[in-house]
Amino acid sequence: MAAKDLFHDAVKQALYKDKWVITADPLRIKIDRVKLEIDLAAEKVLAAEKEGRKIAVEIKSFLNASTITDFHAALGQFLNYRLGLQMSESDRELYLAVPLDTFNSFFQERFPQEAVKVYQVKLLVYNPVTEVIVEWID
């Protein structure tokens, strides 16, 4: 089993506060002999719909000395996990959870902005101190 990210519990609490129900911690996907573990799966029942919204969240802290190295790893995981979800749970949307300070600094640079756009990365921006979701970016 993979180690949990430092801010795993903060994101989990933020999702609870936003009225999400955690359905898997972690979400395990198996495609033939390939096994993937996405940090969290959650569902939210929307009052106006019969079916709710289903998401998976890969949590990143971006605390290493090289933010671009963290970004490379996060983007690679995100793309592989999204493919795994498309093959196994196509009704579930994948989000990359990034801390607010990293979003306000690194993710405002041209290169990460273009990568997020080109690779269609959905972001969940969270505050690890207050344990709240600051912004959903589709």
CATH number of the domain that residue 48 is part of: 3.40.1350.10
Number of domains in the chain: 1
Q: What is the DSSP string of the chain?
A: -PPPPTTHHHHHHHHHHTT-EEEESSEEEEETTEEEEESEEEEE--TT-SS-EEEEEEE----SS-HHHHHHHHHHHHHHHHHHHHHH-TTEEEEEEEEHHHHHTGGGSHHHHHHHHHTT--EEEEETTTTEEEEEE-
Residue 88 domain flag: yes
Contacts for 138 with CB less than 8 Å, ≥ 6 apart:
122
| Domain-located, residue 16 | yes
Q: What confidence score (pLDDT) does residue 129 get?
A: 96
Model pTM score = 0.93
In a domain, 3, yes or no: no
What pLDDT, on a 0 to 100 scale, did the predictor assign at position 1? 44
Domain assignment present for 101: yes
Domain membership flag for residue 2: no
**What are the 10-residue block averages of pLDDT along the chain, 138 residues in total?**
75 95 96 97 73 91 95 98 97 97 98 98 97 97
Supply the range of the domain harboring residue 30: 8-133
Task: Give the pLDDT confidence score for residue 45 in this predicted structure.
Answer: 76
* 112 within a domain of the structure (yes/no): yes
Domain contains 1 = no
